[in-house]
Chains A and B, each alone.
Chain A
Amino acid sequence: MQLTPDETTVFTLWGLGINETVVNTWIVMAMLTVASMLVTRKLRPDVPPNRWRTTLEVIVTGIQRQIEDISSQSSRHVLYFSGTLFLFIALSNLLLVVPGFTPPTASLSTTAALALSVLIAVPLFGITRQGIGGYLKTYIQPSIVMLPFNIISEFSRGISLAIRLYGNVMSGAVIAGILLGVAPFFFPVVMDVLGLLTGLIQAYIFAILATVYISSATAPVHKPVKTPGHEPERGRDHHKEQDR
């Protein structure tokens, strides 16, 4: 039984073997891009929105609202990143029902790549928002003793994200494959439906966790402020910022 599509080479380009994971990723990318282009090509204020445009607006604004609820910030760069994560993973997992199509998220390389992307994006967003000094200070919070634990925590986030996504998608595919051999008529359908549900949930969880990590890195850390008659307070800035 083949557990990853990385092992299937579809074609060779300039001596480099292009495996099924990459090809299926391109297919998903093409579907998302073409659909977006088709829906938004006649996007003018004088044209009333149709059902497709309304659907995309609902999806985009839903993602944006989730990000705002989590981070109490309105950053469109986070929207681009986390939204793309969600849409890519969700569509990949939904394509599980297409016969012969192996979702790219069923590859540990893909999930690792996405986890690495999050792992790299978190410090980049943090540095962009707080500056490199401000971001590095978060590693020694609350004291310098916590530096190794904070570093381990950062890496463990990426690894847990990768394993979580891969495990869930792959387990669904594996279970479906096993049940297809045991009870080929009834259980595969049920498992596929369940796989769609878990795929969407995984996409949601992955994007939410990425947003949480990015938000924790971009939230400014306040120094204790001593004011007459007030106790020093520590917390996050809840001001909503527009980063457009």
Chain B
Amino acid sequence: MSIDWVTVLAQIANFLVLVWLLKRFLYKPILKGIDSREAEIAQRMGEAKRAKEKAVAAEADFVARQQKLQADQDALAERVREQAKQQRDALLAEAHEKMEQERQDSLAQLARERERFTSELYQASADTLYQLAGRALQDLANERLEEHIALHVIGKLDPLSDELASAAEHAEEAVATTHAPLPEGACHEVEAALAARVPGLPLRFATDESQSPGLVLRIGSLELAWTVESYTDELVELLKERLASGESGRVNAHGG
């Protein structure tokens, strides 16, 4: 066993060549690939980090937007609720007002109905009273009553002296009609009273069964009537005045 120095030199040369070959075909490509991969990984990690930061920022932005949207939505809902409440209150107030108005209208209608009913009742009462009074006067009227009416006429002629005189200028006679013939004494008193106001005008007495009890004096176009019908007409007028004035409707026994 010995060392062959030529072989040693050859092996040294072979080893150096092998170092170069492996450096050229093994180490450099492998290390270059590893370096490029590390660089690529680092680049991708950097990109991933930036993407993550971007995603985090986007998430924060999204959360902020979501919160703002939620807040806007809450505010909108609150506003809508408030508007709905106001609208409901307004509608309720309007409904209350309408109900109150209807109630007032109903009350007014009731009052009008009551008033109308009362009025109709009063009117019916007045009519009944009128009919009863007329029937009573018709039933009770007689010669004695017509005499009293004729005498009452004499007292009523004084305020009508001018009208009587004016009417007598164009008339040839005066006519006094009654339901039944007047007693002679009453006729004379009426003639005397007329002659005192209208001298020279002849007076003629006549009867008319269709006329209501009382005296009707006609001088030309002038007609003066004091009959039971005129009293009942006065009663009707009196009742109408009372009803129109809104009084209780109780007719004063003294004729107001």
Contacts and interface: CB of A to CB of B under 8 A. Distances in A.
B37 A80 contact: no
Contacts of A110: 7-8, 11
Interface stretch (A17-25, A149-157, A175-183, A194-202): A17-25
B109 interface: no
A160 interface: no
Nearest to B14: A25
A110 B27 CA distance: 23
A104 interface: yes
Nearest to A60: B30
A36 B15 CA distance: 16
B45 interface: no
A139 B2 CA distance: 31
Given A88-B15, A117-B15, A80 B3 contact: no
Interface in A79-126: 79-81, 83-84, 87-88, 104, 107-110, 112-114, 116-117
A43 B1 CA distance: 45
A60 B15 contact: no
B52 interface: no
Contact of A33 (B6, B21, B32): B21
Interface in B7-35: 7-12, 14-19, 21-23, 25-27, 29-34
Contacts of A6: 4, 7
A57 B14 contact: no
Nearest to A81: B19
A22 to B, nearest CB: 5
A29 B37 CA distance: 28
A84 B18 contact: yes
A88 B36 CA distance: 27
B34 A57 contact: yes
What band does the interface of chain A fall in when counting residues whose beta carbon is under 8 Å from B? 35 or more
B18 A29 contact: yes
A56 interface: yes
Interface in A19-54: 19, 21-22, 25-26, 29, 32-33, 36-37, 40, 43, 45, 49, 53
> Among the interface residues B5, B8, B23, which one has the most CB atoms of the partner chain A within 10 A?
B8
A151 B24 CA distance: 34
B120 to A, nearest CB: 114
B27 A22 contact: no
Contacts of A49: 33
B36 A45 contact: yes
Contacts of B10: 22, 113
B223 interface: no
B8 A116 contact: yes
A116 B7 CA distance: 13
Contact of B25 (A3, A4, A16, A37): A37
Given A36-B25, A45-B36, A108-B3, A84 B11 contact: no
Contacts of B2: 108
B12 A40 contact: no
A76 interface: yes
A113 B11 contact: yes
Contact of A57 (B1, B7, B33, B40): B33
A128 interface: no
Nearest to A16: B6
B19 A113 contact: no
A113 to B, nearest CB: 3
Given A108-B1, A108-B3, A117-B15, A56 B30 contact: yes
B33 A83 contact: no
A61 interface: yes
Interface of A: 3-4, 6, 16, 19, 21-22, 25-26, 29, 32-33, 36-37, 40, 43, 45, 49, 53, 56-57, 60-61, 76, 79-81, 83-84, 87-88, 104, 107-110, 112-114, 116-117
27 contacts: A16-B6, A21-B4, A21-B11, A25-B14, A29-B21, A32-B18, A32-B21, A33-B18, A33-B21, A37-B25, A43-B30, A43-B33, A45-B37, A53-B33, A60-B26, A60-B30, A80-B23, A84-B23, A88-B15, A108-B1, A108-B3, A109-B4, A112-B8, A113-B10, A114-B15, A117-B15, A117-B16
Interface of B: 1-12, 14-19, 21-23, 25-27, 29-34, 36-37, 40
Given A25-B11, A81-B19, A109-B11, 16 more contacts: A25-B14, A29-B14, A33-B21, A33-B25, A43-B33, A45-B36, A45-B37, A57-B30, A60-B27, A61-B34, A76-B31, A84-B15, A84-B23, A109-B4, A113-B10, A114-B15
